[in-house]
A and B are shown apart, each in its own frame.
Chain A
């Protein structure tokens, strides 16, 4: 499948302050791509460069073959966008805002727009300033989806939404994906990305530190096994086994907690030599993996470097 977003060595700084440096990645048409990173990592800068709100210092960014800066008008016809901090005319009602943007986009399917309003149960007769944070977010979400764009660029889209509406949003992303549309979604809520995305890019300090499938990222995870024994067992039994990264003794030697990477076959066979009371395995979420990338200011951990 062809790439709809292509970013090569994109660099942007704000005077002496860092923005992003040499960011490169591509997103294929039809995929749901998660762009992960903590606050200030450079996610919004990257997105605003794609949207031609910022001018890059160097590097290139293309969407559907169009240069993001020089051919931004062509690109904007293809895109639905949600900014990280949406600001709209506070004196317009939600309905007026949606109609205004519908006109600016050259018209939208009114029936579909009404359907979206119903779907989010939004009272569109209130002024934007009178909306709660969640309702403001709903207005912005609807304006991004209402013209059925080929590409959705969403910067922290569910911030402020309640779980029910987050679920509705997940459905809308799924539907967009099923229709072959592309979604580029930035977030620091990893469970959201884990749930909705097929591929993720992790950005730290203005640089991409890893790109991979969600499944692939999870495959390089460390996981934990905790084994409780009827009698104390020496920790040395497990330390040298294949796949064991670390061993911790618990409960006065009656249990061990093993940090694992790779196959658990050797551990299971070794444990079978002792009377086992219980065995539990804990699979880390993407959150855990993500946190490990940011747990120090040093370079990414060994396994991340190996896969990236």
Chain B
């Protein structure tokens, strides 16, 4: 596997191919399990179709009463999630190597620069198509298990369509990275464009006669194919367009790469350039973020916190606003579908026929978001240690415990900030929609997610005492996914109570309906504190950088 740059790069992706391919495959399968339970009566079927139509702004509601149609509709929501891996890979494919200085060595080999870039790009494409095959196979297997009407070929075409849209955003990130000095801004800009294109695609579903606007978005062409709905089928032209677009973006990126300075960027027009920086020997004496490990950690976490706050608060605010608008349709659906009512009850914990019950079910995603944020920040800590950035800090007169706790305290502060802003956004949305909701319970629902964020973070800090960054992040992601599935599907599978108690979400409870459960909150906090204490002890004793 080390005989060429292509094979070496592919080897680097092997864990991601399996992890991302299987993980995303499971995401596709998960909605398939609930379809049959949702359409037990013609009335329930009709109401499901009607409810889906209410969400048509998000994804085309086509044949949502079939397994393939429902899965396609639900996964429409997850395009953002699926495109994250190629986006990160595209932004670091060349720029990351330049950051590390390894590109210099690579380009000192008797091999044209074009080949180096092309082999790396080809490895990403291969990885994406391998993931697409895995997702397609899993979709087919899931469909077969639940009695879907699509075949293996349809499943594979579904995977291929996903791979193509992923390739588009991977290549877009690669192209943007030719203009940025670091990989972070390239990844951030591409993520921003991804959101923009998702919204652009939504326009034609909301505003009549605006399809021409949505055609400007690559997501539009992805959505033109729905292979899991045999009667809708695949739009070959749209798939070819995505392929051509990805090839063009990748080709442009390579064309620029072979012509620019290694370590430099493609020169922008003068009017787009930042002003020339003047050399200086003036020390930044008053900088607030340099006063302590905690302050520095806050400085590091500030920007990600802003983005996560915007995302989570906007999501919560939207849920609060939307639930009021959906009340009538939801009531009809719930009266016709006991299974859906049970599902909502599993998540929300109460009578789903009232707004609070539905909102409670939807708020289940709030702690999940907060915990995902915590995982990304633990990843930063682990990477800093692995890359040796803690070494000099640990040789100053600061104890290891103080360094770790300073970093953790910054993460805790950020978690609290996100939660408080989310609470304010939710309260404002409730007021705007005229939704009557217990303010104390709303506060409990939002702020009650904080202990869960701290718990997953402390587990990550403990695990980083032994594991390297990738393994630590992988473990946390697995724990998070396992908890989610235990709480999301566990009650339906009649899992024993002891198993349900293994999920941290169990202790989150249903605060929107029943208020804060002090015993559960204190219990989670106590476990988090104990795990953090163990993590601190481990960190205080371990060999650094080994």
Interface residues, chain A, CB within 8 Å of chain B? Answer: 14, 48, 51-55, 73, 76-77, 79, 81, 83, 85-90, 93, 95-96, 98-101, 103-106, 110, 113-114, 117-118, 122-126, 129-130, 140, 143
Contact = CB atoms under 8 A, between A and B. Distances in A.
A155 B198 CA distance: 52
Contacts of B99: 90, 129
Nearest to A81: B395
B109 interface: no
Interface string B205-220: 0000000000000000
A90 B182 CA distance: 10
Interface string B290-329: 1111001000100000000000000000000000000000
Contact of A123 (B280, B290, B392, B541): B280
A110 B283 contact: yes
Which size bracket describes the interface of B in this complex?
A: 35 or more
A129 B96 CA distance: 12
A104 B398 contact: yes
Contacts of B293: 104
Interface in B264-288: 277-285, 287
A155 to B, nearest CB: 11
A55 to B, nearest CB: 6
A104 B544 contact: no
A87 B388 contact: yes
Nearest to B394: A53
Nearest to B184: A91
B329 to A, nearest CB: 49
B36 interface: no
A103 B284 CA distance: 12
Contacts of B287: 96, 99
29 contacts: A14-B546, A53-B395, A53-B545, A54-B544, A54-B546, A73-B397, A76-B395, A83-B392, A88-B389, A88-B392, A89-B300, A90-B99, A95-B283, A96-B290, A99-B287, A103-B291, A104-B396, A104-B397, A105-B396, A105-B397, A113-B283, A114-B281, A114-B283, A118-B281, A124-B280, A125-B277, A125-B278, A129-B99, A130-B181
Contacts of B546: 14, 54
B436 to A, nearest CB: 47
B395 A89 contact: no
Contact of A99 (B279, B284, B393, B396): B284
A55 B397 contact: no
A129 B182 contact: yes
A131 to B, nearest CB: 12
Nearest to B263: A130
Given A96-B284, A113-B283, A129-B182, A51 B277 contact: no
A113 B282 CA distance: 11
Contact of B389 (A14, A81, A87): A87
Interface string B375-402: 0000000000001110111111111000
Contacts of A118: 281
B290 A86 contact: no
Contacts of A143: 392
A54 B397 CA distance: 16
Given A54-B546, A114-B281, A140-B392, 11 more contacts: A51-B395, A53-B394, A55-B543, A83-B388, A85-B388, A87-B392, A89-B300, A99-B287, A104-B293, A104-B397, A125-B278
